[in-house]
Amino acid sequence: MSKPVSRREFLNLIAATSGTAAVLGITSALGMIPSSASASVPDLLRLSNQSRKVVILGGGISGLTVAYELGKAGYDCTILEASHRCGGRIFTVRAGTLIDEIGNPQYCDFDDEPHMYFNAGAARIPSTHTNVLHYCKELGVDLELFINENKMAWIQDDNIMGGKPIRNGEFTTNVRGFMAELMAKAMTDVELDQPFTDDEAGLVLNMIRAFGDLGPDNRFTGSSRAGYASGNYVTHTVQKDIIDVRNLLRAQAARQVLSDNEGETGPMLMQPTGGMDRIPAGFVRQLEDKIKYRARVTSLNLRDDGVTVEYDQDGQRLSIDADYCFNCIPSHFMNGITNNLPADYTQAMKYIRRGVAYKAAFQAKERFWEKQGIYGGISWTNQPIRQIWYPPHGIHKAKGVVLAAYDYGNGMPFTRMTQGERIEAHLAQGEKVHADYRQQCEKGITIAWHRMNNMLGCSARWNVQTPEEQAIFDKLQASVNGRHWFIGDQISKHTAWMESAIQSAHVALADLDQRVRAEAANA
């Protein structure tokens, strides 16, 4: 039997659960800053007759941004990319794609059709990411809408409803009904800190009722928002029973689906038509002859007047001299690269922790989710796969690709499995959400970013909150001798986003430009 909580007990509880605020803080950092700023592309001084050579370490989106912008301004750029492709963690998997996970390489054998792809890394562009959008426009990358939340998608949690999936809309409607009842009760409390006039209280009450779809007595007695048990547009409809919030509280997804515009779910989301790799491809079209693939950097020698970079390419040790160096190599690889960066700089670099992430996808023989009225969006589960994503594109086509697992820090259970075991686990877990999942899914692919060749990690993970952290950030964001800039989402306050990587490139470019302009003024 439930035991009432006294006021004092409750206040103790508040103190005891304050730890969750920290958890929220971290999750929030996975989201995005709803910036009102427009694109930050620096207005670079165009070089006239003199030539400046630039070497760019890594063909991730920050490196591509630097090469593209400096190329337009007349600089002579070379990108050294360790792998066989640019884009880094912008990676679209389709028929024939190699997933170069060390110890578990796979070739994707999805059907070869334009809509049959999987964005294994970056997958969403929020409408607040003005710089990503700026380059999409400039490079002719077509965009289409993407959605996270879908009231028709499922919430499946072994701790609620006996493990039976429940529609997101039914879940949220019942929780909101409960919340609205709570609020209406609180409004009757004359101890409100901000007492309202009659008129204002009436407005609040209307708002609360609308929020929770309460009845005139301020009780939640069910709502059509949860869907109907039976009936349609031309017959009598029967309302679904209400669900006691007690039965929903324990769902892990509760926070996710109620937090509204926290994180990625706030602004509109978009994706490039045909795959996220259309973005690096747009840059590469402009840079084709400036990129050296399979070029692994082995040493970095900074001098006052320039930089020399040695690299291995196809069995040869080669070298390149340049005036400037922009470096988006994942920080944890710099240990293995001979360099003469200052000691405090390499020390700062070591502060950056590298995150893990795991994704998987299936080809679906039929778009089984559409038969359940699900068009795009995410189903949530408390199982290790966490999420199932349905494609927002290719509506009503014969087949589609579903994201089958997305784990970004849950102990990474799948990483310890063979490929066969991973697939079996995803099928078994997916079956709890969709009964026919196993029959519908085939050709599974998996990707553990912390085991990917030339990557060995997902995005950097660090928060810049303390003065010490700010000092580290400032150190790494600044150039070394005006010759070397560290770039990438790793040098941002909001790692893991393309927008951050691009903004870090813009900061470095603006710094270079300022120096070049100063030289020009002094010349």
User: Smallest Cα–Cα separation from 75: which of 55, 96, 93, 90?
Assistant: 55
Contacts of 230 (CB under 8 A, 6+ apart): 237, 238
69 binds its own copies (CB under 8 A): no
86 binds its own copies (CB under 8 A): no
Q: Write the DSSP assignment of 326-360 as a string of letters.
A: EE-S-GGGGGGSEE---HHHHHHHTT-EE---EEE
Binding residue (CB under 8 A) for its own copies from 13, 102, 435, 471? 13
471 binds its own copies (CB under 8 A): no
369 in Cβ contact with 437 (< 8 Å): no
Contacts of 80 (CB under 8 A, 6+ apart): 55, 56, 57, 58, 292, 295, 296, 297, 309, 311, 320
Binding residue (CB under 8 A) for its own copies from 211, 293, 345, 408? 211
Q: Considering only 52-60, 129-137, 316-324, 435-443, which stretch makes contact with its own copies by CB under 8 A?
A: 129-137
500 binds its own copies (CB under 8 A): yes
Q: Write the DSSP assignment of 442-498 as a string of letters.
A: EEEEEEEGGGBTTTSSSSEE----SHHHHHHHHHHHS-BTTTEEE-SGGGSSSTT-H
State the nearest-atom distance from the C-beta of 351 to its own copies, in Å.
17
213 binds its own copies (CB under 8 A): yes
Binding residue (CB under 8 A) for its own copies from 49, 234, 288, 521? 234
What number of chain residues touch its own copies (CB under 8 A)? Answer: 129
Q: Write the DSSP assignment of 182-236 as a string of letters.
A: HHHHHHT-TT-SS---HHHHHHHHHHHHHHHT--TTS-----GGG-EEE--SSS-
331 binds its own copies (CB under 8 A): no
Q: How far is CA 249 from the centre of its chain?
A: 26
- Cβ burial of 1 (10 Å; 0-12, 13-18, 19+) is exposed
3 binds its own copies (CB under 8 A): yes
30 vs 291, beta carbon nearer its own copies: 30
Binding residue (CB under 8 A) for its own copies from 49, 51, 197, 466? 197
246 binds its own copies (CB under 8 A): yes
Measured CA distances, 494 to 113, 176, 405, 505 (Å): 34, 31, 23, 14
Residues 388 to 447: which contact its own copies by CB under 8 A? 392, 395-396
In angstroms, rounded to a whole number, what is the distance separating the alpha carbons of residues 390 and 378?
A: 6
Residues forming beta bridges with residue 406, ordered by sequence position: 359
Binding residue (CB under 8 A) for its own copies from 124, 176, 278, 354? 176
359 binds its own copies (CB under 8 A): no
Residues 255 to 284: which contact its own copies by CB under 8 A? 255, 258-262, 266-268, 270
The token duo for 507 is 């900061």
95 vs 201, beta carbon nearer its own copies: 201
In angstroms, rounded to a whole number, what is the distance separating the alpha carbons of residues 214 and 204?
A: 13
Binding residue (CB under 8 A) for its own copies from 92, 130, 381, 490? 130
Sole residue written with tokens 């009757």: 188
376 binds its own copies (CB under 8 A): yes
- Cβ burial of 5 (10 Å; 0-12, 13-18, 19+) is exposed
State the nearest-atom distance from the C-beta of 201 to its own copies, in Å.
5
268 vs 471, beta carbon nearer its own copies: 268
Q: Considering only 65-73, 199-207, 427-435, 512-520, which stretch makes contact with its own copies by CB under 8 A?
A: 199-207
In angstroms, rounded to a whole number, what is the distance separating the alpha carbons of residues 359 and 444?
A: 11
124 vs 422, beta carbon nearer its own copies: 124
Residues 20 to 39: which contact its own copies by CB under 8 A? 20-21, 24, 28, 31, 33-38
Q: Considering only 48-56, 69-77, 227-235, 296-304, which stretch makes contact with its own copies by CB under 8 A?
A: 227-235
9 vs 321, beta carbon nearer its own copies: 9
15 vs 523, beta carbon nearer its own copies: 15
Binding residue (CB under 8 A) for its own copies from 142, 241, 344, 436? 142
Residues 37 to 56: which contact its own copies by CB under 8 A? 37-38, 40
State the nearest-atom distance from the C-beta of 468 to its own copies, in Å.
15
State the nearest-atom distance from the C-beta of 18 to its own copies, in Å.
4
In angstroms, rounded to a whole number, what is the distance separating the alpha carbons of residues 365 and 348?
A: 49
State the nearest-atom distance from the C-beta of 233 to its own copies, in Å.
4
Helix 130-138 and helix 498-522, axial crossing angle in degrees, nearest 10 = 80
Binding residue (CB under 8 A) for its own copies from 221, 237, 439, 463? 237
Instruction: For the chain, give the number of residues.
Output: 523
- Cβ burial of 71 (10 Å; 0-12, 13-18, 19+) is middle
In angstroms, rounded to a whole number, what is the distance separating the alpha carbons of residues 492 and 503?
A: 8
State the nearest-atom distance from the C-beta of 148 to its own copies, in Å.
11
10 binds its own copies (CB under 8 A): yes
The token duo for 200 is 């204002």
- Cβ burial of 217 (10 Å; 0-12, 13-18, 19+) is exposed
206 vs 410, beta carbon nearer its own copies: 206
Q: Considering only 13-21, 298-306, 378-386, 451-459, which stretch makes contact with its own copies by CB under 8 A?
A: 13-21
State the nearest-atom distance from the C-beta of 197 to its own copies, in Å.
5
